[in-house]
Amino acid sequence: RIAYVNGRYVPHGEASVHVEDRGFQFADGVYEVVTVVGGKLADEEGHLARLGRSLGELQIPWPVKPAVLKVIMREVVRRNGAQNALLYIQVNRGVAPRDFRFPANPRPSLVLTCRRTKFQTARQLAEGVPCVTVPDIRWLRRDIKSVALLAQVLAKQKAVEAGAFEAWQVDPDGTVTEGSSSNAWIVTADGVLVTRPASNLILNGITRQSILRLAGELGIPFEERPFTVEEAYAAREAFISSASTFALPVTRLDGRSIGDGTPGPLCRKLRQAYMEYVG
């Protein structure tokens, strides 16, 4: 395995950053996960656009021009001989003496790693996955794909300890925000696809945006609005979306069966459409 660290391609086991890297000291950075499907980068433009937006919100300069980053992304995939993989890209404010203020002349750090994956198992696709709900204890700029992920780590661990695949985070008003590392979707009893609108309260998933576009093209009725946990319990279908899960059926929530407890047709259709689009 080969990683990229600040201008160098290095063996994965030797890839490291300085102890005063602000990503390490302050989680002062942002990231993207881009899926590689059959050797091709999925939704690359969307991920680069969101990276630019996240950097802009934190006033971190691009470490290299986006066109150069595209070359590095391809080179990391190529050097790893990756067909099906997850490409991780982190940009942070770089190495500087520990001080909360922005450094005067930042030299942002750029790190890329690549990990091969088989994506979902046949069983996960055939049976769907269980999820649990947890309070959303995060900050109010969830639209920034920040590397500060402690709340998500705790949420995912709660899911794991409950024997679930993902945790759906819930705001104090009882509405589901999103998964720990995915967006949350339901299909109502009338067959309407529902997902929360993009705002500061969720990360606007690139997969989410593609699925909404595909739903429109397929003539599937959809609404972008918040939904409650109660509504999710009563849903006909539920699923999650992300670069690493595409659209993955959720068949149990907090131990209750969703719909008839098997993966639903709309999720299946959208997953298929997404795989054709990226394939």
Contact set with ligand PDD (CB under 6 A): 33, 178, 181-183, 203, 205-208, 241-244
Min dist. Cβ of residue 51 to ligand PDD (A): 10
Q: Out of 40, 65, 70, 145, pick the active-site residue.
A: 145
3 state SS of 72: helix
End-to-end CA distance of the chain: 24
Interior CA angle at 92 toward 89 and 96, to 5°? 145
In angstroms, the CA 17 to CA 10 distance is: 12
In angstroms, the CA 239 to CA 232 distance is: 10
Min dist. Cβ of residue 169 to ligand PDD (A): 8
Cα distances (angstroms) measured from residue 54 to each of 32, 33, 70, 89, 231: 10, 13, 17, 13, 32
Residue 172 gets the label, from left (phi > 0), alpha (psi -120 to 50) or beta, of alpha
β-bridge partners, 87: 34, 114
Min dist. Cβ of residue 238 to ligand PDD (A): 15
54/181 with CB nearer ligand PDD: 181
User: Residues 225, 229, 231, 233: what is their CA dihedral angle, to the nearest 10 degrees?
Assistant: 140
Phi and psi (nearest 5°) for 58? -100, 5
36/96 with CB nearer ligand PDD: 36
In angstroms, the CA 139 to CA 200 distance is: 9
209/228 with CB nearer ligand PDD: 209
113/242 with CB nearer ligand PDD: 242
Whether 269 is catalytic is no
Min dist. Cβ of residue 86 to ligand PDD (A): 7
Min dist. Cβ of residue 205 to ligand PDD (A): 3
The number of CA neighbours under 13 Å toward the Cβ of 170 is: 18
In angstroms, the CA 51 to CA 89 distance is: 9
179/259 with CB nearer ligand PDD: 179
Residues taking part in catalysis:
145
